[in-house]
Amino acid sequence: MKVTGLGLMGLLCACQVYDFQPVVPLGLAQIIKDVNITASPPKPALMLVVDKSRSMTTPLVGGGSRMTAMQAAMDTFLTNSGAAAHLGMLPFPTDVMPANSCLNGDVANFATIGVALDQGDEDDARLTRVAAQVKTAIDVLVPNGGTPTGATMRTLGTYPPLLAKQRDNFAVLLTDGLPNCNPDLAPQASTCTCTASLPAGSPCQVAEGGRVQNQCLDDQGVSAEIALLAEKHIRTIVIVFGTDVDNVEGKRTLGQMATAGAFTRPCTTSADCNSGDTCNSGGVDPCGRPASTCGQNYFTAGNAAELGKVLDAIKASVTCPTCLQVIAPPSDPALISVLVDGDALQPGPDTWEFRQSTTAPTIEFLGALCDRLKKSTVADPVHVEIRSVQTF
């Protein structure tokens, strides 16, 4: 083929110039909740995260210490209600030599301390035996060390049994003090908020058992770790035992932690809330239903009897009705799909409805479909698959 000069000029003139603009890439992730629903919904998973720091030796007015009172309350709860959930127990700090360290609790150490989260079936007798193991492990805890709450919560975020999608997962944080022991904070700079009572100008650290403990308040660090757990659908329930945090800084920090944990505290009257707190309308309960909720989402207890009441209230809050399923927050509710025994169902008065919530978005099954789920059995379950899309 012969191209003349004129033809070459024509070809050159036919070329276009495009002004490409940078485009922010869009990521998509499909979140699937795949469950076999029976009239009795799957029991929740409760990982008990137990503070055994040195301050748990503090004596109580009625006798005993915070640790012995906590052990007594947990003994009663685990004996009477142990079959209500799949249980595990992670204590912190971890015992090392010399003792009294800031070493965090770690799920990798279940072979030597604590109890791995139960992954078995729903059989009440078997779950009761697991609860007895947890009870025994709590009864032998010996207080020492600091309060490395943030690093301890971090280990739960990569713990496979707590990431299972077929049941609701909770971390129950039981502590008596504010979080510290974050090595990223500089106690020598005297710029942090100190959780220890020390002379003015002193570095925010104490020495126990041959080790130096960083006593800087780790409010931001622990709240960030708890928020990451919530993103992985592990909600955190915060229980504070004792009076060390009954002050402005303590209430602020605990409120921040509880909010990050995405667990609301339903109430009927203000008497259901912490002392001095109020019950407010316009919220949602942990199952995503409209409800009045306490202004403070964390729980307080001053003795074994009060802690027992808190544990009973939590037990009542973490088991949702058959026709409600808590799901991951979708980027767009229009991108939710529900399959029942393999058949895709459109939302409607006899199928399902999405209920928006910042803490516990839910799918509520309605009418004929709800009736069908209530009639299901272990031998003849209904298979439900809930798909949603998240953009990032």
Q: Give the number of domains in the chain.
A: 2
> Rounded mean pLDDT of the chain?
86
Please tell me which residue, 78 or 38, carries the higher pLDDT value.
78
> Is residue 165 one of the residues assigned to a domain?
yes
> Is residue 186 one of the residues assigned to a domain?
yes
Are 328 and 300 in a shared domain? no
* Domain final residue pick, 317, 335, 359: 317
Question: Can you tell me the distance from the alpha carbon of 33 to that of 329, in angstroms, rounded to the nearest whole number?
Answer: 12
Are 331 and 229 in a shared domain? no
Provide the pLDDT for residue 1.
43
What average pLDDT does range 270-297 have in this prediction? 90
Are 50 and 127 in a shared domain? yes
Question: Can you tell me the distance from the alpha carbon of 270 to that of 293, in angstroms, rounded to the nearest whole number?
Answer: 9
Provide φ and ψ at 326, rounded to 5°: -75, 135
Are 83 and 160 in a shared domain? yes
pLDDT surpasses 90 at 23 = no
* Domain final residue pick, 317, 347, 366: 317
Are 289 and 342 in a shared domain? no
Provide the pLDDT for residue 32.
75
Tens digit of each residue's pLDDT (9 = 90 or more) over 137-184: 999 999 988 899 999 999 999 999 999 877 889 999 999 989 999 988
Are 218 and 332 in a shared domain? no
Tens digit of each residue's pLDDT (9 = 90 or more) over 276-289: 999 999 888 888 78
Tens digit of each residue's pLDDT (9 = 90 or more) over 119-141: 999 899 999 999 999 999 999 99
Are 290 and 361 in a shared domain? no
CA of residue 362 relative to chain centroid, distance: 17
Least confident of 210-214, 218-222, 272-276, 340-344: 210-214
Are 343 and 248 in a shared domain? no
Question: Can you tell me the distance from the alpha carbon of 206 to that of 314, in angstroms, rounded to the nearest whole number?
Answer: 35
194 DSSP assignment: B
Model confidence at 89, in pLDDT bands (50, 70, 90)? very high
> Is residue 382 one of the residues assigned to a domain?
yes
Q: Which residue has the tokens 């193991």?
A: 133
> Is residue 22 one of the residues assigned to a domain?
no
Are 32 and 56 in a shared domain? no
pLDDT surpasses 90 at 115 = yes
> Is residue 6 one of the residues assigned to a domain?
no
What average pLDDT does range 325-332 have in this prediction? 82
Q: What is the CATH number of the domain that holds 251?
A: 3.40.50.410
> Is residue 184 one of the residues assigned to a domain?
yes
Please tell me which residue, 133 or 242, carries the higher pLDDT value.
133
Model confidence at 19, in pLDDT bands (50, 70, 90)? low
> Is residue 10 one of the residues assigned to a domain?
no
Tens digit of each residue's pLDDT (9 = 90 or more) over 353-371: 998 877 678 899 999 999 8
Q: Where do the H-state alpha helices sit in 85-210? A: 124-139, 149-156
pLDDT surpasses 70 at 205 = yes
> Is residue 263 one of the residues assigned to a domain?
yes
Are 83 and 104 in a shared domain? yes
Provide the pLDDT for residue 120.
93
Are 74 and 212 in a shared domain? yes
Least confident of 90-104, 229-243, 317-331: 90-104
Are 383 and 240 in a shared domain? no
Q: Which domain holds residue 173?
A: 43-317
Q: Name residue 153's beta-bridge partners.
A: none
Provide φ and ψ at 132, rounded to 5°: -65, -35
* Domain final residue pick, 317, 342, 373: 317
Provide the pLDDT for residue 244.
78
Provide φ and ψ at 128, rounded to 5°: -65, -40
